[in-house]
A and B are shown apart, each in its own frame.
Chain A
């Protein structure tokens, strides 16, 4: 066995009692702590001895300080004069030990003890959690506004849909940690006035459980992604990991060189931010350059043509309703289908267009089919689809008409039908509603009653 051992910390930063007991056990086994860390503590071999340990916190100290401050040294000297020898410092934590069995404890009054922990905790937790809370709320706001703006697109896209529960879980975690912190302050201060020390409650497994759930949700949301999309995600993770590593290495190196705390922090975080920015620009550039191909699951073009200097693609995706089902036409079309599905919604956008260089004809078709699987959402989706076209209003007056108006659903055999009123007349664009299925269809020609009936029969659930 070597002279040094690295042992997983296995306790919370503020769990003084657990740390002291662990250190006493290690000393009795002949291991003295020499360095503390977030995940691991390092011990050095020594003669087995019966020692008492005391863990305290010096709120002004930071792991970024190149040297302990004068006040911190003053406290350590006072403790040494009373028989408590400093073993190590870690961030705001100070670990002392004594071999005097009858030495009074290092901390005997819960009032300053609670205050020290409160100040240290607030420095470590408060700013970061408040920042995180603001970030989460902002992200949730963005997600919800996207959902309101385009509910069909959002709710049928699993990668976006699962982000709301993920952010909500993180929001609950941050709120819980902040609530626990403030609750502890109130209770601990009041207990300290009565001479009782109430340690902060440790929930060290909770963040890991939440993180595991978030990762699970993320994996679920990305389960349909292509290799290229996963590759891009791995690249993003690698950039983030490298940034964290760079920041940690710089923090340590600058601290050892005696650089002051705030300069160290600014340089290290700034360097990490530069690395992240550069990495993201490189990833975006690689994405534009086609390094992360999107999707074996998505359709590939069958042909292409040049139009005004641009390459246009022709697709031959299967469509549920085709122009040929309605009219006797034989033209070259590009048939494109974009499908996405979540546990709440299945959504498909279909188009049958004539190439821009092709023979001009009105026989083109565009439609979308939305199947709402989660019944309570039907009313909301229906309203949003109807409201997707709005009149242009200026100073309280309608300056341009563009909205759906209810029409007789009977020709479609639908429960409900709406037609687009645009400028001064109806367009051949309809919204059709059946139980759970909502269709928006645009004919580029004026369909006959028979064509409408056929289209509705094919598109109905």
Chain B
């Protein structure tokens, strides 16, 4: 996966990294994302596996433990940097929105 791809994160990438600020296994990440977003964001287990592999290959997360085929990960400094950059991008988008509509919804 080219580095270019992680210039911005998709919503699912963002939440996976966010949940890995605490050490978690794949199954725990699925649960944590559902809990954190109240079920709004659902990550497919296939997608989660692939993204964990990609993040690990890019050094954005690192493996901490392996119990059988259950591996746990935690975010790295690089991953945290990406997460922060994405957070700032989203905040900038929110700020732009607010400068136009104040605290109101754009629908009026």
A and B interact physically: yes
Q: Within the assembled complex, what's the spacing in Å between the Cα atoms of A112 and B43?
A: 12
In whole Å, how far is A110's beta carbon from the nearest beta carbon of chain B?
A: 8
In the complex, which residues of chain B have a beta carbon less than 8 angstroms from the beta carbon of A109?
Answer: 10, 12-13, 43-44, 47, 50-51
| In the complex, residue of chain A having the shortest beta-carbon distance to the beta carbon of B41 | A108
Report if A54-B46 is in contact (Cβ < 8 Å); known contacts: A74-B69, A82-B30, A193-B5: yes
Say how far A2's CB is from chain B's closest CB, in angstroms. 33
Q: Which residues of B contact A341 (CB under 8 A)?
A: none
Q: Are A79 and B49 in contact (CB under 8 A)?
A: yes
Question: Which of A54, A112, A195 touches B50 (beta carbons < 8 Å)?
Answer: A112
The winner among A73, A82, A96, A115 for most chain B CB atoms within 10 A is: A82
Quick one: closest A residue to B1, CB to CB?
A115
Residue in A73, A74, A79 with the greatest tally of chain B CB atoms within 10 Å: A74
- Find chain A residues with CB under 8 A from B59 CB: none
The size bracket of the interface on B is: 20 to 34
B54 at the interface (CB under 8 A from A): yes
Query: Closest chain A residue to B27 by CB distance?
Result: A81
Dominant SS among interface residues on chain B: helix
Docked complex: A223-258 residues within 8 A CB-CB of B: none
Known: A56-B46, A84-B45. A111 touches B10 (CB 8 A): yes
Instruction: Give A116's nearest chain B residue, CB to CB.
Output: B50
A78-B27, A109-B10, A193-B5 known; A104 vs B42 contact (CB < 8 Å)? yes
Known: A54-B46, A77-B69, A82-B30. A108 touches B12 (CB 8 A): yes
Docked Cα-Cα span, A111 to B58, in Å, equals 15
Q: Scan B37-63; emit 1 where CB is below 8 A from any A CB, else 0.
A: 000001111111111011000000000
CA distance A96 to B46 in the complex (A): 10
- In the complex, what residue of chain A is closest to B6 when comparing beta carbons? A111
Docked complex: A70-101 residues within 8 A CB-CB of B: 70-71, 73-75, 77-79, 81-82, 84, 96
Contact A75 B49 (CB under 8 A): yes
Residue of A nearest to B45 (CB): A82
Distance in angstroms between the alpha carbons of A52 and B99 in the assembled complex: 45
* Contact in complex: A115, B54 (CB < 8 Å): yes
Interface of A is mostly: helix
Most buried by B among A84, A96, A111, A195: A111
When distances are taken between beta carbons in the complex, the residues of chain B under 8 Å from A265 are none
Q: Which residues of B contact A301 (CB under 8 A)?
A: none
Q: Say whether A106 faces chain B, with CB atoms less than 8 Å apart.
A: yes
B49: chain A residues at CB < 8 Å are 74-75, 78-79
- Please determine whether A78 and B26 come into contact, CB atoms closer than 8 angstroms: yes
How far is it, in angstroms, between the C-alpha of A113 and the C-alpha of B12 when the chains are bound? Answer: 13
Alpha-carbon distance A79/B50, docked complex (angstroms): 11
- State A112–B9 Cα separation when bound (angstroms): 12
Which residue of A is nearest B5, CB measured?
Answer: A111
Complex-state Cα separation, A105 to B13, whole angstroms: 16
Contact B71 A107 (CB under 8 A): no
Residues of A within 8 A of B1 (CB): 111, 115
Inside 8 A of B44's CB, which chain A residues have their CB?
82, 104-109
Query: Would B69 and A70 count as touching, CB distance under 8 A?
Result: yes
A96 to B43, CA, bound (A): 16
Shortest CB–CB separation between residue A364 and chain B, in angstroms? 74
- Please judge, given known A-B contacts A74-B69, A74-B71, whether A108 and B47 are in contact too, CB under 8 Å: yes
Which residues of the partner chain B approach A77 to less than 8 Å between Cβ atoms?
Answer: 69-70
Residue interface mask B67-84, A partner, CB < 8 A = 1: 001110000000000000
Chain B hits for A96, CB < 8 A: 46
B residues near A84, Cβ cutoff 8 Å = 45-46
| Residues of chain B contacted by A56 (CB below 8 angstroms) | 46
Chain B 12-24 near chain A by CB (<8 Å), digits 1 or 0: 1100000000000
| Distance between Cα atoms of A113 and B51 in the complex (Å) | 10
Task: Give the docked Cα–Cα distance between A79 and B48 (Å).
Answer: 9
Option from B10, B45, B48, B53 in Cβ contact (under 8 Å) with A195: B10
Please indicate the chain B residues that have their CB under 8 angstroms from the CB of A112 in the complex.
Answer: 47, 50-51, 54
**Contacts A70-B69, A74-B69, A112-B51 given: A104-B43 contact, CB under 8 Å?**
yes
Q: Give 6 closest A-B pairs by Cβ, nearest first.
A: A112-B50, A104-B42, A82-B45, A108-B44, A106-B46, A74-B69
